[in-house]
Amino acid sequence: MALNDFFAGEIATELIKMLMTISRKSLLCRSSAEQLLNYINELLPTIQEIKYSGVELPEQRQFQLDHLSTILRSGVELSHKVLSSSRWNVYKNLQLAKKMEKLEKNVSKFIQGPMQAHILADVSHTRFEMAERFDRVDAANRKLEEYFDAMKIGVGGGGWVEEAVRSCMEEYDNLNVEGNCGNLNLNLNLSVGLDLGKKKVKEKVTGRDDLWVVGICGIGGSGKTTLVREVCRDEQVRRYFKERILFLTVSQSPNVQQLRTKIWGHIMGNGSLKPNYVVPQWIPQFECRSEARTLVVLDDVWSLSDLEQLVCRMTGCKFVVVSRFKFPTIFNATYDVELLSEEDALSLFCHHAFGQKSIPLSANESLVKQVVSECQRLPLALKVIGASLRDQTEMFWASVKNRLSQGQCIGESHEINLIERMAISINYLREEIKECFLDLCSFPEDKKIPLDVLINMWVEIHDIDEKDAFAIVVELSNKNLLTLVKEARAGGMYSSCFEISVTQHDVLRDLALNLSNRASINERRRLVMPKREKGLPKEWLRHKHRPFEAQIVSIHTSEMKEMDWCNLDFPKAEVLIINFTSSDYFLPPFIDRMPNLRALIIINYSASYACLHNVSVFNNLTNLRSLWLEKVSIPQFGDILMKNLGKLFIVLCKINKSLEDKQVNMAQIFPNLFELTLDHCDDITEFPSSICRIQSLQNLSLTNCHNLSQLPDELGRLRYLEILRLYACPNLKSLPPSICDMIRLKYIDISQCVDLSCFPEEIGKLVSLEKIDMRECSMIKSVPKSAISLKSLRLVICDEEVFDMWKDVEKAKPNVHIQISEQYFDLEWLRE
């Protein structure tokens, strides 16, 4: 096909129409489509000149033009795929955006090569115009990279992950659609379904002084937690208890002592009790008078023995216990959660399948109602299956309906059948998305998973980049297979993924475990301890004579000593997750036999810092790239070399001067480290100067380190640093002038550094700086004159009282936005 035929024929018109539609509907491809549209419209007159000139081109040149025609024809096919892709399918859209970027590069390469040599010689009057336009196309493609960079530092709205978090928060706060609620319109009142259950529970909680333990019971996924949260949020209930409401998640592996301490502190009006405070022994009939009414909600209770240690009888104090099981010896009254009405079930399903509360005219009404019926009026099943069918073909719907109809009826004694039904939607996921969903079962039940941990793990074991991993997180969130939660902490409102966690309904975790455990134990890709045990599972020990093929190994125990371990072989393990509850922990000796280990996560859930033993095993982890340490005493790193470690996270840890020792050269221990986080490390007073010699460091976070008072003068030696977070370091008095030498720095966060009094005078040298976050920095009264030279600055976040000092910068640089920070109210107690 000749080039003039291409542009003169119907395909030109079709391509132009598709690019116009893409520019309106596709976020990722919009810039590329607009630039390509401009390119084709501008090129068309020149091609028409060639067409009507009557001049026959030489064979070689015609061949080159035909080759370009083939490339552009592939653009038509790609445009069809972009337009047919659901906007909810973030991962697929990212892949299509990459393909469009590749297409543009191919066209650009052709223009700059053969076309310059042959075609543009004959149409020289368009050459410079075309070169200019393709420069703009290349710039548009770079916007995709900038988009993800912005997501990291919170510029430009925070990106997909931030949007997904807002969506989850809005759905939770406004669309009360789980449990006994069918309202999907923000302007309507709650439906009768939720009103009835809520009214009954409220009567027991606020209207009956003789009831001190009220149970809310129902099968998994029936909306128990949503109902009790709505009760807690009710204005009448909050006034009755004068806001004295405590919401705790117990789970299958609770730390009973910590929960008792929180309950006791809340009842006695002392919320500052240390986690290791010893609570007086109580018995159910123990009575103590308290002037203030108090409500304690215990969610996801599994064990009678745990519950007996958590409830106590005190005048004015009431307990609401949420469980799949009934505990008649404890409960004074029980409310059995009712399933949704048929009308509410249909509304909930349609919300997640179609984005509206009723069946659209374009859908097959009979087929939709059959699928809804198979979900058995269970909110969780309706949400997950509905989201999985969004934007799918009718044939796909029919296939899912047929598979659902083959299952057994879901009842109180058939929770496994709920799992089997939801497994159908999981099996329709693309393989890489499904594997990432199954990975979520590797983390303890009802615990928040830091997004950084999840992203790092997926990058290492699935050979994907961070952009793909972020897209998968958002897609799983859109399909209601996980929930994104914004942490209520300083700096967290604008700093994107650093303060975001992932949570998952325990039924969905059971589903992931069920699917992961279907292979024989030695062949499983994930070897997981579902709940905390005193030692290794007997099933593991029975099969220890053969190597385990697991790629992810997840251990959850109490204290482990050297004698408690046995020889296990994990030749293919790439991720090891160690969860424990103890003040002493001997690291497993078999780490030595994990030659491919890339990510190691060690988290202690006890009240005190844990002392780690057998840390010499770190020396053998030559391929380790990511290390997360939480609630432990940091060991001495003096004799350890971790040459391939790229990311180190030290969270809620006791440093013990192990990093400050002048004999410890951090640059030698971690020669290739590019991301370092120290968070809530209260005993760190000075930042180790040897870290300033790690030339590879790009991301440095020193957050919530309340005793950090000084940064080294040589901090500016970190010339490749792009992100510097220093928020909530209240004793930090100054920033070293050398930071002005960080010419690659894009983002600095000094919010809640209340003792900081000024910026370095030469801050204008930070030519790459895009964002400054300085909320609650009231001591800073002026901006250095050099700030006008911050040529890349786009966003400053500050409090209203210091807003005026940025006016000169804003006037001189119209592209700079000065944003007054919003007050943030912590409702985290409702999301524990």
* SS3 label, residue 507: helix
pLDDT band at 37 (very low <50, low <70, confident <90, very high): low
How high is the pLDDT of residue 441?
92
- Rounded to whole angstroms, how far apart are CA atoms 391 and 353? 8
pLDDT band at 348 (very low <50, low <70, confident <90, very high): confident
- pLDDT tens, residue by residue, 647-673: 999 999 998 776 666 667 888 889 999
How high is the pLDDT of residue 345?
86
- pLDDT tens, residue by residue, 65-93: 666 666 667 777 787 777 777 766 777 77
Alpha-carbon separation of residue 526 from 168, 304, 435, 466, 551 (angstroms): 28, 30, 10, 22, 6
- pLDDT tens, residue by residue, 548-597: 999 999 999 989 999 999 989 999 999 999 999 999 999 999 998 899 99
Q: Which range, of 497-511, 700-714, 727-741, 785-799, averages the lowest pLDDT? A: 497-511
Pairing of strands 747-749, 771-773: parallel
Give the closest residue to 696 by CA, choosing from 645, 639, 651, 620.
Answer: 645
- Rounded to whole angstroms, how far apart are CA atoms 111 and 116? 6
- Rounded to whole angstroms, how far apart are CA atoms 381 and 386? 8
The answer regarding whether domain 192-336 maps to CATH 3.30.70.20 reads no
pLDDT at 12 over 80: no
When pLDDT is averaged across residues 214-218 and rounded to a whole number, the result is: 87
Residue 571 is classified by DSSP as T
Angle of CA points 53, 54, 59, to nearest 5°: 110
When pLDDT is averaged across residues 482-493 and rounded to a whole number, the result is: 59
How high is the pLDDT of residue 180?
33
When pLDDT is averaged across residues 278-293 and rounded to a whole number, the result is: 55
How high is the pLDDT of residue 60?
57
pLDDT band at 746 (very low <50, low <70, confident <90, very high): very high
Q: What percent of the chain has pLDDT over 90?
A: 25
- HSE (side-chain half, CA atoms, 13 Å) at 101: 15
- pLDDT tens, residue by residue, 590-622: 998 899 999 999 999 988 899 999 988 888 888
How high is the pLDDT of residue 719?
92
How high is the pLDDT of residue 203?
87
How high is the pLDDT of residue 551?
95
- Rounded to whole angstroms, how far apart are CA atoms 328 and 307? 12
- pLDDT tens, residue by residue, 726-741: 988 999 999 999 999 9
pLDDT band at 143 (very low <50, low <70, confident <90, very high): very low
pLDDT band at 174 (very low <50, low <70, confident <90, very high): very low
When pLDDT is averaged across residues 634-655 and rounded to a whole number, the result is: 86
pLDDT band at 413 (very low <50, low <70, confident <90, very high): very low
In CATH terms, the fold of domain 162-177+340-507 is: Arc Repressor Mutant, subunit A (1.10.10)
pLDDT band at 375 (very low <50, low <70, confident <90, very high): confident
The pair phi, psi for residue 95, each rounded to 5°, is -65, -40
How high is the pLDDT of residue 525?
94
One-letter-per-residue 3-state SS of 609-652: CEEEECHHHHHHCCCCCEEEEECEECCCCCCCCCCCCCEEEEEC
How high is the pLDDT of residue 742?
94
CB distance 195 to 188 below 8 Å: no
How high is the pLDDT of residue 61?
55
pLDDT at 748 over 50: yes
How high is the pLDDT of residue 44?
57
Q: Where in the chain are the domains?
A: 3-153, 162-177+340-507, 192-336, 684-832
- Rounded to whole angstroms, how far apart are CA atoms 276 and 608? 7
Residue matched to tokens 């134990």: 521
CATH class of 684-832: alpha beta
Alpha-carbon separation of residue 717 from 664, 697, 743, 760 (angstroms): 18, 10, 11, 16
How high is the pLDDT of residue 674?
94
How high is the pLDDT of residue 645?
93
- Greater model confidence, 764 or 171: 764
When pLDDT is averaged across residues 360-382 and rounded to a whole number, the result is: 86
How confident is the prediction for the chain on average, in pLDDT?
A: 78
